[in-house]
Amino acid sequence: MTASRLAVGDAAPALELTASDGQSVSLADFAGREVIVYFYPKAFTPGRTTRACDFRDSIASLRGAGYEVLGVSSDDPERLAEFAAAEHLPFPLLSDPEGATAKAWPGARRFRWHQRDDTP
């Protein structure tokens, strides 16, 4: 995939990561559903906490429109569990400690030592 972003209808790269609850989550688990996957550098960072809370606050309307949300960061599952509990996040947070998944996704790229998403 050479595009800098996924276009509507493009197949998303495979994703199978450990969630904040310790369970393995695969994009295939959501087959037939619309999924918003967002990447962020670290839990508890100001800008990305705001983004996570924006998704939290919109989750009813997103799910009502048929969307699920997955957050992906380089944090370990334990740190993600702390973040999910502290911010009352009702969607899976996935651990991508080496950034391999983020590297495979157009629109997610390395920024210094953190993953940065290009979501507007």
pTM: 0.83
3-state secondary structure (DSSP) of residue 50: helix
Tens digits of per-residue pLDDT, 50-84? Answer: 999 999 999 999 999 999 999 999 999 999 999 99
> What residue type is assigned to position 68 of the chain?
E
- Give residue limits of the domains in the chain: 16-117
Q: What architecture is domain 16-117?
A: 3-Layer(aba) Sandwich (3.40)
Instruction: Provide the Cα torsion 19, 35, 109, 115; round to 10°.
Output: -30
Query: Strand 108-111 vs strand 114-117: parallel, antiparallel, or unpaired?
Result: antiparallel
Tens of each residue's pLDDT in the chain, 120 residues? 445 777 777 788 889 999 999 999 999 999 888 999 999 989 999 888 999 999 999 999 999 999 999 999 999 999 999 999 999 999 999 999 998 998 888 776 544 434 444 444
